[in-house]
Structure 1
């Protein structure tokens, strides 16, 4: 079970780290999504910072499990907010947000249950 936790944590950390990079660089794809959701582009740096902190927290959690639990829980909340933001404007293109939410939730579940 620890192997699954390790692999899922690394995948989730890589995915959210890449998401942070896209926010930091204001990638055109991310800017288009932000515009569609009526999220100001000026929020890209704070949102990217949240993703980067979550990604680093997941990695730190490999050494100190409570940090990983906190990071995974924070990412779950972040992506619940993302889903709500999509629904708020009637945007049903939820694939990315739901994928990241699923990764974060699964990582949280394993962080809470996998042996150390």
Structure 2
């Protein structure tokens, strides 16, 4: 079970790091999405910080399970919010945040089962 936890946690952390880097670099595609959903461009760094913290928590949580579980809960809440914001503005292109939400839920369940 720990191997599955390791794989899911590391893959999700990697995706979060790349997403955070894109936000910090103001990737045009990500900034277009931020504009579409009405998120202020001057606060995108907050989302990047949340993603980086989630990634760090998932990786460190492989060694101390309570942190891994807490990080997974935080990432779940982040992507629930992301999905809700897309739906609020009637942007039904929610595949990416929904898949990452499911991955975060899997990371949480696996982390709890392998504790």
TM-score calculated relative to the size of structure 2: 0.96
Using the TM superposition, give the Cα deviation of residue 103 of structure 1 relative to its aligned residue in structure 2, in angstroms: 1.1
Q: After the TM superposition, which segments of 4 or more aligned residues of structure 1 sit over 3 Å from their partners? A: none
Q: Which runs of 5+ in 2 are unaligned?
A: none
In structure 2, distance between residues paired with 1:71 and 1:43? 21
Show CA shifts across 1:32-63 (max 9, x none).
10011111111210000000000000010011
For residues 42 and 99 of structure 1, the distance between their equivalents in structure 2, rounded to whole angstroms, comes to 27
1:34 aligns to what SS in structure 2?
A: helix
* Alignment: residue pair count: 115
- RMSD over aligned CA atoms reads 0.8
Deviates more, 1:47-56 or 1:95-104: 95-104
Q: Which residue of 2 aligns with 1:37?
A: 37
Q: How far off its partner does 1:96 sit? A: 1.0
Residue by residue over 1:82-105, the C-alpha shift from the partner in whole angstroms, topping out at 9 and shown as x without a partner, is 011001101000011111111111
TM-score, scaled relative to structure 1: 0.96
- 1: CA distance between counterparts of 2:24 and 2:85? 20
Which residue number corresponds to residue 81 of structure 2? 81
